[in-house]
Structure 1
Amino acid sequence: MFSSIRHGLFAALAGFTVLICLCYTGLALVISYVTEDMLVDRLLQREAAAISAHFHLRGEVKTPGDELIRVYRSVAALPPVVRAQVAAGRERAEISTDSGPHYHLRTLDLPAGSAPRRVYLLADARPLLVVSALFRDVGGVLVSVALGLIALALLLAYLLSRRLVAPLQVLAKEVRGLSRDQPIAFSARHRRDEIGFLADRLGSTIAELHSSLNREHAFTRDVGHELRTPLTVMNNILGQAESRPLAAQDVAQLLSGLDDIATTVDVLFALARAEHIAEETLDLRGCIEESLLRLLDDGAWEEGCLELQLPDHLAVRGNRHLAMLLINNCLGNALFHGGAGSRLRLAFADGVLSLGNTVDPARAGTTQGFLHGQNLLRRIATAMRWEIGFHAGATAYRVDIVPLRPH
């Protein structure tokens, strides 16, 4: 299927070449035969003018000066094949015979009193038929040359079709060999013609399609992975409600699970739209303060449990919405796993933002949840081209974030 363009182009070029050859050959033959006829007719015309002038001066029909032309004074004297043409009423005619002669007839009326005198000029044009003789003598050579030229034209058409279609075939081969995780770099994208434009737009379209498919795949995977844990916890608590009333701690866990699900859904949708979210220069300290104020208003930390070592202005490159989700999730995890009495320390040094919190060893049963949500946090950081690392210990937990700084 992918070679049909080349075959079709070669067939079109070859057919056009053969058609041009046949048309010019036919035109050359027509011009040759017309030239022969015009030459004989011009000889008859000149001889007729000379006979008319001689008859006007002397009153007699002179013998033609050209030995190829004869004058007949009556129809009966004409050869039978010519006589039949005259009987049919033709005054000028070209007559071929199987026996060899090739006649050209011209009727001439000479003024002679009240009744013009009619004579017939008849030329045997066999010696002047150069085209027929040429084809008879060197026809084989001419046919061989013509076939050779046609073969050369077909070869050029074949090479030209290969040269014109080769970039499209290379592009088609590269498209067939693409995989979803392979970087798209078509070799024809630097061409300054329609094929280059096609390769560039096709590469962009396929890259966008792969990106959309990857985000859809990641969204489907993360929905099943990230929501399973809170849903399982909530399902277990609700299952116990059939046998006993829910305690305050159970209600708190349900509310925490709902918040966890809402946050996870927000993150998943933000990552699914990450390609369409613009990048900007933002103040990361402002995002941190906004998130901390929300937690402090909720009474999440006691006074004196929060330590900040941040510059007055922390400019980074990223997306404000994703940055807020990243900070909110890190602080939310610190609160959930560390507890209300844990100490939280945020510091920025050497391009690294560190968020650390203490962990009560008595809460070991909840520290296993540290791994929950790390994949989403990594995806948020990757979407903004940031780096993130997690360091879990028995009494402390730390997250290191390396944001992208403005140039």
Structure 2
Amino acid sequence: MFKSIRHGLFAALAGFAVLICVGYTGLALVIAYVTEDMLIDRLLQREAAAIAAHFHAHGEVKTPGLDLISVHRRFETLPPAVRAQAAGKARAEVFAGPGRHYHVRALDLHAEGKAGTRGTQRIYLLADVGPLLVVASLIGEVGGVLLGVALGLVALALLLAWLLARRLVSPLLVLAQEVRAVTPDGAASFSARQRRDEIGYLAEKLGTTIAGLHAALGREHAFTRDVSHELRTPLTVMNNVLGQASARPLAGQEVAQLQASLAEIRHTVDVLFALARAEHVVEETFDLRGTIEESLLRLMDDGAWQGAEPLLDLPDRLAVTGNRHLARLLIDNCLGNARFHGAPGLRVAWHGGVLGMTNAVDPGRAAAMQGFQHGQNLLARIAAAMGWRIGFHAGAASYRVEIVPAVSAVPVLPPRVR
């Protein structure tokens, strides 16, 4: 088994070249021998036609015109070697030893007698063609030169096969080395991606596949890390609250803590699954103001901010580019944190391409609920998945979240009224 594709390709090309050289050499020898035999047979055929015509005109067998052809009136007068190999044959080629090569042809001569009867006489034309065998003598005289030329051509074919194999396989070897050098944390960048052939297509697909695999592994690692980190705090709070339920009934604040922890777990799980499926999310242009209003309406339906509704300072249409689902999760988490961890008086404003959410800090709830800062890592990852930026600014009496979305140049049209 070959160690590399270059060795295999070289062996295939070299074997093919040697096979062609040997095959054409053998074919040339066969053509030479066949041509030689056909020439001798054609001479015998012409001589036989001339003898038959002379016999028909004069009634006698004339002497052949070529010295190498002799006429035998009986089969028994042929040489023993010819009789042994040509018995019962009208034509035969006989090899009688080194330098002794015969061609024999039987010829039937028809003659009419005086009483009108027809008689047949068979004669044998024997050609001693040893002096005419030029192919064998040529091989004996210049065979060394021909062998040297053949070996030189084979060597040239092997050299060309090696160069061709090296040239054809070199891009694949470079690609294999680059794939081998890719690390789990490194980027997959292949030099063959610029080629306009199958190797370039393969490099492009490999790079895309490896990048997608790295991204999937990164999301899986982040998912498992976030599950263990982000869910630990609300689960700890719920466990502590439920641990007190066996000794006494739960107070209203403790029930609120359980509800807040459950809501936080629900939002965290939604965010984690959304981030895990981030590569399948398609970006679009949508109205961010509509998303903010929908989130606020859901929170107000749950009884949040009773008596102190949030203040909105937003343009009528706020066209941004991103994913509607991820943006809704981002806004829901920010507003949900403001509801559970902050005091009434939330203000949502748009200024200079920045969406700001500012609310006062509730000192009585901050210690129990770990503050508004919980889940910042997930919120930052949601924003990064859409190409947005988010910042958190904690003060002694207030907390502010700043979101910088990707503003779309295409305005969002209002929905049609049916």
TM-score by length of 2: 0.89
CA contact (8 A) 1:2 1:169 kept: no
Aligned with residue 174 of structure 1, among 161, 166, 178? 178
CA contact (8 A) 2:342 2:372 kept: no
2:388 aligned with 1:389, yes or no? Answer: no
Residue aligning to 2:416: none
2:372 is paired with a residue of what secondary structure? helix
**Residues 281-290 or 61-70, more deviating:** 61-70
2:297 aligned with 1:293, yes or no? Answer: yes
The residue correspondences of 1:279-358 to structure 2 (distance < 5 A) are 279-303=283-307, 306-339=310-343, 341=344, 343-358=345-360
- List structure 1 runs of 4+ shifted beyond 4 angstroms: 302-305, 360-364
In 2: Cα distance, 1:367 partner to 1:222 partner: 19
Measured after TM superposition, the shift of residue 305 of structure 1 is 6.2
Alignment CA distance shift 1:173-1:345 (3 Å): same
Residue aligning to 1:37: 37
Residue aligning to 2:15: 15
In 2: Cα distance, 1:25 partner to 1:76 partner: 41
2:105 is paired with a residue of what secondary structure? strand
1:217 is paired with a residue of what secondary structure? helix
Residue aligning to 1:244: 248
Q: Deviations over 1:42-85 (max 9, x none)?
A: 11111112222222333332222212222223334332212334
Residue aligning to 2:149: 145
Residue aligning to 1:253: 257
In 1: Cα distance, 2:265 partner to 2:369 partner: 18
2:86 aligned with 1:101, yes or no? Answer: no
In 2: Cα distance, 1:11 partner to 1:207 partner: 36
Letter in 1 for 2:143: G
Unaligned runs of 5+ in 1: none
In 1: Cα distance, 2:253 partner to 2:131 partner: 125
Residue aligning to 1:83: 83
Alignment CA distance shift 1:234-1:366 (3 Å): closer
1:308 is paired with a residue of what secondary structure? strand
Measured after TM superposition, the shift of residue 111 of structure 1 is 2.6
Residue aligning to 1:54: 54
Aligned Cα root-mean-square deviation (Å): 2.3
CA contact (8 A) 1:361 1:394 kept: no
In 2: Cα distance, 1:309 partner to 1:83 partner: 124
CA contact (8 A) 1:230 1:261 kept: yes
CA contact (8 A) 1:32 1:131 kept: yes
In 1: Cα distance, 2:76 partner to 2:328 partner: 120
In 1: Cα distance, 2:332 partner to 2:290 partner: 13
In 2: Cα distance, 1:59 partner to 1:278 partner: 108
Letter in 1 for 2:57: L
Alignment CA distance shift 1:241-1:104 (3 Å): same
Q: Deviations over 1:108-164 (max 9, x none)?
A: 222344432332221111221111011101111111111221222222222222333
2:128 aligned with 1:117, yes or no? Answer: no
Residue aligning to 1:232: 236
Measured after TM superposition, the shift of residue 379 of structure 1 is 0.9
Q: Deviations over 1:275-316 (max 9, x none)?
A: 222211111111112222233343422545633321111110
State the identity %: 69
In 2: Cα distance, 1:361 partner to 1:2 partner: 74
Letter in 2 for 1:59: G
In 2: Cα distance, 1:321 partner to 1:6 partner: 51
CA contact (8 A) 1:2 1:172 kept: no
Measured after TM superposition, the shift of residue 90 of structure 1 is 2.3
1:116 is paired with a residue of what secondary structure? strand
In 1: Cα distance, 2:78 partner to 2:327 partner: 113
CA contact (8 A) 2:283 2:323 kept: yes
Q: Deviations over 1:159-184 (max 9, x none)?
A: 22233333333332222222333333
In 2: Cα distance, 1:118 partner to 1:241 partner: 133
Letter in 1 for 2:73: R
Letter in 2 for 1:218: A
Measured after TM superposition, the shift of residue 2 of structure 1 is 8.8
Aligned with residue 213 of structure 2, among 209, 215, 235? 209
Alignment CA distance shift 1:262-1:368 (3 Å): closer
2:97 is paired with a residue of what secondary structure? coil
CA contact (8 A) 2:100 2:130 kept: yes
Unaligned runs of 5+ in 2: 410-418
**Residues 180-189 or 23-32, more deviating:** 180-189
1:371 is paired with a residue of what secondary structure? coil
Measured after TM superposition, the shift of residue 210 of structure 1 is 2.4
Count of aligned residue pairs for this structure pair: 404
Q: Deviations over 1:1-40 (max 9, x none)?
A: 8954333333322222222222222221111111111111
TM-score by length of 1: 0.91
Residue aligning to 1:196: 200
The residue correspondences of 1:356-395 to structure 2 (distance < 5 A) are 356-360=358-362, 365-366=367-368, 368-395=370-397
Letter in 2 for 1:327: I
Q: Deviations over 1:350-390 (max 9, x none)?
A: 21111111224565525843332001101110111100111
1:97 is paired with a residue of what secondary structure? strand
